[in-house]
Amino acid sequence: MENLIPPANNHLIDALSRKVKDRLLTQCVRVTLVRGTVIYEPDTPYQYVYFPLSGMSSFNATDADHRPMSIELIGREGMLGAAVVLGVCDARFQCIALVSGEAMRISVSRFRKTLLENFGLDKSIKHYISQLMNELGQSIVCVQYHSVEARFARWLLEASDQCPGEELHFTHVAIAQLMGVRRSGVSIAAHNFRSQSLISYARGKLLILNRKGLIEKSCDCYLAAA
């Protein structure tokens, strides 16, 4: 059931002034995004904007064979549908919930009205969009120049940032698809990390055991985008 409940922890909302935060939250409802939920489809109008409180979602690009590749992971540090701030009406990429969680949801029409009435909100989200663009630029460099093992370490770290302390429920196949690489590459990297006691995994469940060690295995892109 949807209801008006103050957010638990969204970094964008928490950074707002009390006045702007209250104004935004009066327009929101709290909803659950179940794993596998398709939040946006390409070339379809944005109907809602979401501020995640927990869980993790992915924006995916696809090739000519409709194979998805994750281009950005979004969790409680940000929002889904930020492009509407720039006047964009239709989604460009698919967005799907990878880890179940809760979010504060607001209709696009109410959100745009709230933006016009609150300069602080508009400024905060445009700064967030700028950060996203920097991260996307870093990801392009990462895909082009860095090894599967380094990229896998980065992916694990970024996913765990969204779901701290939780097991990551992903198979090697699923991670490989999201990274746009062969499953064998992910499996080899996972085996190496497990043998070095950096992670544990079994039956689609992964857990980071040595975060510092995993950061050392990751490329510089993780810290650069952090």
Structure confidence by residue, pLDDT tens digits, 51-69: 999 999 999 998 878 888 9
Q: Are residues 204 and 171 in contact, defined by beta-carbon separation less than 8 angstroms?
A: yes
CATH number assigned to the domain covering 146-225 = 1.10.10.10
Predicted structure pTM score: 0.89
Percent of the chain with pLDDT over 90: 75
Residue 52: DSSP 8-state: E
Phi, psi values for residue 29, rounded to 5°: -125, 150
How much is the mean pLDDT over the chain? 91
Give the Cα separation of 179 and 132 in Å (integer).
18
Q: What is the pLDDT of residue 7?
A: 46
Query: Could you read off the pLDDT of 154-211 as tens digits, one per residue?
Result: 999 999 998 877 789 999 999 999 999 999 999 999 999 999 999 999 888 999 999 9
Q: What is the mean pLDDT of residues 71-83?
A: 95
- Give the right CATH number for 11-120 from 2.60.120.10, 3.90.1150.10, 3.30.40.230, 3.30.300.180: 2.60.120.10
What ranges in the chain are assigned the alpha helix state H?
A: 11-14, 18-25, 108-117, 119-145, 148-162, 172-179, 183-195, 211-217, 221-225
pLDDT at 226: 66
Query: Where, residue-wise, is CATH 1.10.10.10 in the chain?
Result: 146-225
